[in-house]
C-alpha cells in the first residue's frame, strides 16, 4: 500500500508559508501554463483525507514563468491542515503562499495557492511538481446510525475533475488506502475498486463545460473510529527553581463515525467482546510522551481515572465508556519532565531557548482548535517564538499562580486551527531572557510576607483585648 507521506520535518518547514500574502485576490491566473498530466491520489488510510497531486506542467506563454497557481475548493481550504509543494526527485520544497480571498472557477468558489518556482521556466519547457495536502472536508458516514457490530462505511464527496484554471491534457483520479471502495451511483461501465490493492482508479472525461461543479462521491469501509479533537488546551509550566517542565492538556474529544442505533448496553458490549474487536468506537488510545516523563495523571469531569497505564514513553488511556459516533468526552492529562531536556541556556546574556514538541496527543486525530500556552517564571521577557504552523493568534500576558506575589507568571499563548496528528513531530521554540537575580529574588517576597504575618501575629498576641475593671 502506498502511503502519501514524506519526511514530516520538511513538510512542516513549508507550513510556515501560510501567512497571508500581499496578493490581489479577485483575479484569474493568466493562461501561461498547461497541465500536461494531472494525476491525483486521495489517501483514505487515516481518519482524514490526505491528497497528493503529481503535476507535469508546460510553459505555453511567450516569456519565462516562475509562478503557478494551484486551485483548491473553498470548502476544502477552510479545513486545510497541511500544504506542501516540492520537486519529488530532487527532494526540494518550493515556496508557496495562499491568496487572501476566494476567486471563482465556473461559478464555484476557489482558493488559489501561489507556488513560486526557484527558477523561471522557459517557454515550451516542462517541469514536474508534487503537491501534498491534508484536510478534513467532504467526509461523513454513509449511514447516520448503525447497529453495534455491523460494518462501518464512510462517504467522501470531492471534485471529480481538476480544480484548475489552466487547460489540462490528461487527468486521473485514484482513491487508495481503504476497503470496498465504490463510486456512489456508478453505472456498469464505471471501473470497480481493486480490493487487493485497496484502490479505486477513475479516468473522468475532460470534455465537459463545467469542470468545477462536477463532483464524485465514493464510499469505503473503515471499521475504526474517527477521533476529532474539537478543542485542545495545552499548558506548559517552566520552573527554573524546581528544574522541571510540567505539561497539562485538556481535551474536548468527539468521534465522527456513524452514531449508534438504539441505546448503549454495557452488558451487550461486554458479552459481544466488542472491546477486543475493531469498530467505529473508541475504547482507548495512546499518547507518545517525551522521554523520561514522570508523575502522570488522567482525570475527567467526574474525577481521577485509574484505567491508564504507562509503558516506557507511551501513555495508554482508557475512558470510562466507549466513545461512539457523535459522543463527546472531556478529559485532562498531565506529566512532568526534567527542564534540562528541553532548555538551552546562554549564561553570558542570560537568554534561554525552550524547545518543546507541539503535540503529544493520540494518533490518527484531527484538531479543530489548539491553544498552546507556555508559562514562564515571574519577570521573564519573551524575545521570540517560532513554530512551523499558521497562527490564528499570538500574545503575551501574565497569570497568577501559587506564590506569585508580584507580577505573576509570564504566559505566552499561540492559537492554531486545523491541525493533524503528524504535527506532533514538529517543534516550538521559545526564546526568553530570565536572570539568576530574578530567580533568587522569587523567595524574598514570600519570606517577607511570612515575616510580616509572624510579626503581626506576635504583636496581636501581646495586645490585651480584655475589658478592664
DSSP states along 373-389: EEEEPTT-EEEEEE-SS
- Length of the chain counted residue by residue: 469
Contact predicate 314/333, CB 8 Å = no
**DSSP classification of residue 446:** H
Question: Please, which residues have CB within 8 angstroms of residue 272's CB and are 6 or more apart in sequence?
Answer: 148, 149
Provide the pLDDT confidence category of residue 15 given band limits of 50, 70 and 90. Answer: very low
Full DSSP string of 335-376: EEEEGGGTEEEETTTTEEEEEEES----SS-EEEEEEEEEEE
**DSSP classification of residue 459:** H
Other C-beta atoms lying within 10 Å of the C-beta of residue 376: 25
pLDDT, mean of residues 42-47: 96
Nearest to 84 by CA among 166, 17, 175: 17
Measured between its terminal Cα atoms, the distance across the chain in Å is 98
Provide the pLDDT confidence category of residue 14 given band limits of 50, 70 and 90. Answer: very low
Which tens digits make up the pLDDT trace of 344-365? 998 888 899 999 999 999 999 9
Q: What distance in Å separates the CA atoms of residue 408 and residue 66, rounded to the nearest whole number?
A: 51
Contact predicate 255/326, CB 8 Å = yes
Which tens digits make up the pLDDT trace of 82-105? 999 999 777 788 999 998 888 888
**DSSP classification of residue 126:** E
Q: What distance in Å separates the CA atoms of residue 329 and residue 54, rounded to the nearest whole number?
A: 39
Q: Under DSSP, is residue 444 helix (H, G, I), strand (E, B) or coil? A: helix
Look at 118-132, 149-163, 265-279, 440-454 and tell me which has the smallest mean pLDDT: 440-454
Q: Under DSSP, is residue 48 helix (H, G, I), strand (E, B) or coil? A: coil
Residue 435 to residues 339, 346, 348, 381, 404: CA-CA distances in angstroms?
A: 16, 11, 10, 10, 17
Q: Which residue has the higher pLDDT, 21 or 261?
A: 261
Which tens digits make up the pLDDT trace of 399-445? 877 766 677 889 999 999 999 998 888 899 999 998 876 666 677 77
Nearest to 51 by CA among 131, 107, 112: 131
Q: Kind and range of the H or E element at 263?
A: none
Which tens digits make up the pLDDT trace of 288-337? 999 999 999 999 999 999 999 999 999 999 999 999 999 999 999 999 99
- The whole-chain average pLDDT of the chain stands at 87
Residue appearing with cell numbers 491553544: 371
> What Rg do the C-alpha atoms of the chain give, in angstroms?
28
Report the pLDDT value the prediction gives residue 468, as an integer from 0 to 100: 63
Nearest to 75 by CA among 17, 155, 139, 16: 139
Q: What distance in Å separates the CA atoms of residue 219 and residue 204, rounded to the nearest whole number?
A: 17
Q: For residue 20, is pLDDT > 50?
A: no
β-strand pairing of 108-121 with 65-73: antiparallel
For the chain, domains (ranges, CATH) are: 33-221 (2.60.40.1730), 227-443 (2.60.40.1730)
Q: What distance in Å separates the CA atoms of residue 60 and residue 167, rounded to the nearest whole number?
A: 10
Q: What distance in Å separates the CA atoms of residue 246 and residue 290, rounded to the nearest whole number?
A: 11
Q: What distance in Å separates the CA atoms of residue 134 and residue 377, rounded to the nearest whole number?
A: 37
Report the pLDDT value the prediction gives residue 460, as an integer from 0 to 100: 83
Provide the pLDDT confidence category of residue 450 given band limits of 50, 70 and 90. Answer: confident
Q: Which three cell numbers stand for residue 394?
A: 499570538
Report the pLDDT value the prediction gives residue 12, as an integer from 0 to 100: 40
Nearest to 237 by CA among 408, 122, 393: 408
Full DSSP string of 64-89: -EEEEEEEEEHHHHTTEEEEEEEETT
Positive or negative, the CA dihedral 376, 421, 82, 252 is negative
Report the pLDDT value the prediction gives residue 441, as an integer from 0 to 100: 65
Q: For residue 469, is pLDDT > 60?
A: no
Question: Please, which residues have CB within 8 angstroms of residue 348's CB and are 6 or more apart in sequence?
Answer: none
Q: Under DSSP, is residue 15 helix (H, G, I), strand (E, B) or coil? A: helix
Whole-number percent of the chain with pLDDT over 90: 64
Full DSSP string of 264-305: --HHHHHHTTGGGS--SSBS-EEEEPPTT-EEEEEEESSSB-
Contact predicate 406/347, CB 8 Å = no
Q: Can you give the pTM of this predicted structure? A: 0.86
Amino acid at each position: 500500500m502506498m502511503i502519501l507521506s514524506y519526511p514530516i520535518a520538511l513538510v512542516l518547514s513549508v507550513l510556515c508559508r501560510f501567512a497571508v500574502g500581499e496578493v490581489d485576490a479577485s483575479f484569474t491566473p493568466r493562461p501561461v501554463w498547461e497541465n500536461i498530466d494531472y494525476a491525483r491520489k486521495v489517501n483514505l488510510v487515516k481518519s482524514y483525507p490526505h491528497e497528493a497531486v503529481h503535476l507535469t506542467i508546460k510553459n505555453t506563454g511567450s516569456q519565462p514563468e516562475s509562478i503557478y497557481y494551484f486551485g483548491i475548493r473553498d470548502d476544502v481550504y477552510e479545513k486545510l491542515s497541511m500544504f506542501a509543494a516540492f520537486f519529488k526527485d530532487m527532494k526540494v520544497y518550493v515556496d508557496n503562499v495562499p491568496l487572501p480571498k476566494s476567486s471563482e472557477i465556473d461559478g464555484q468558489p476557489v482558493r488559489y495557492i501561489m507556488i513560486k518556482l526557484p527558477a523561471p521556466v522557459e517557454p515550451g519547457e516542462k517541469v514536474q511538481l508534487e503537491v501534498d495536502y491534508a484536510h478534513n472536508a467532504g467526509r461523513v458516514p454513509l449511514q447516520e446510525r448503525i447497529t453495534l457490530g455491523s460494518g462501518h462505511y464512510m462517504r467522501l464527496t470531492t471534485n471529480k475533475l481538476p480544480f484548475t484554471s489552466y487547460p489540462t491534457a490528461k487527468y486521473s483520479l485514484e482513491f487508495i488506502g481503504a476497503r470496498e471502495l465504490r463510486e456512489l451511483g456508478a453505472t456498469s461501465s464505471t471501473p470497480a475498486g481493486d480490493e487487493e490493492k485497496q484502490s479505486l482508479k477513475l479516468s473522468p472525461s475532460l470534455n465537459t463545460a463545467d469542470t468545477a461543479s462536477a463532483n464524485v462521491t465514493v464510499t469505503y469501509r473503515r471499521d475504526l473510529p474517527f477521533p476529532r479533537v474539537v478543542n485542545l488546551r495545552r499548558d506548559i509550566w517552566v520552573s527554573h527553581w524546581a528544574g522541571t517542565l510540567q505539561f497539562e492538556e485538556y481535551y474536548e474529544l468527539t468521534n465522527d463515525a456513524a452514531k449508534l442505533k438504539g441505546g448503549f448496553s454495557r452488558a451487550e458490549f461486554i458479552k459481544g467482546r466488542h472491546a477486543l474487536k475493531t469498530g467505529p468506537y473508541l475504547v482507548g488510545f495512546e499518547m507518545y510522551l517525551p522521554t523520561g516523563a514522570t508523575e502522570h495523571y488522567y482525570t475527567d469531569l467526574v474525577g481521577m481515572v485509574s484505567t491508564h497505564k504507562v509503558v516506557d514513553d507511551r501513555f495508554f488511556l482508557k475512558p470510562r465508556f466507549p466513545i461512539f459516533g457523535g459522543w463527546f468526552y472531556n478529559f485532562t492529562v498531565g506529566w512532568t519532565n526534567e527542564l534540562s531536556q528541553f532548555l538551552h541556556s546562554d549564561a553570558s546574556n542570560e537568554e534561554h531557548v525552550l524547545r518543546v514538541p507541539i503535540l503529544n496527543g493520540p494518533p490518527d486525530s484531527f484538531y479543530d482548535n489548539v491553544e498552546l500556552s507556555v508559562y514562564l517564571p515571574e519577570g521573564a521577557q519573551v524575545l521570540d517564538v517560532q513554530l512551523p504552523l499558521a497562527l490564528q493568534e499570538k500574545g503575551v500576558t501574565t497569570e497568577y499562580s501559587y506564590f506569585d506575589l508580584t507580577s505573576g507568571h509570564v504566559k505566552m499563548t499561540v492559537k492554531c486551527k486545523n491541525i493533524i496528528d503528524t504535527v506532533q513531530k514538529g517543534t516550538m521554540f521559545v526564546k526568553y531572557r530570565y536572570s539568576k537575580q530574578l530567580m533568587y529574588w522569587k523567595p524574598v517576597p514570600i519570606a517577607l510576607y511570612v515575616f510580616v504575618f509572624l510579626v503581626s501575629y506576635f504583636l496581636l498576641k501581646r495586645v490585651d483585648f480584655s475589658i478592664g475593671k
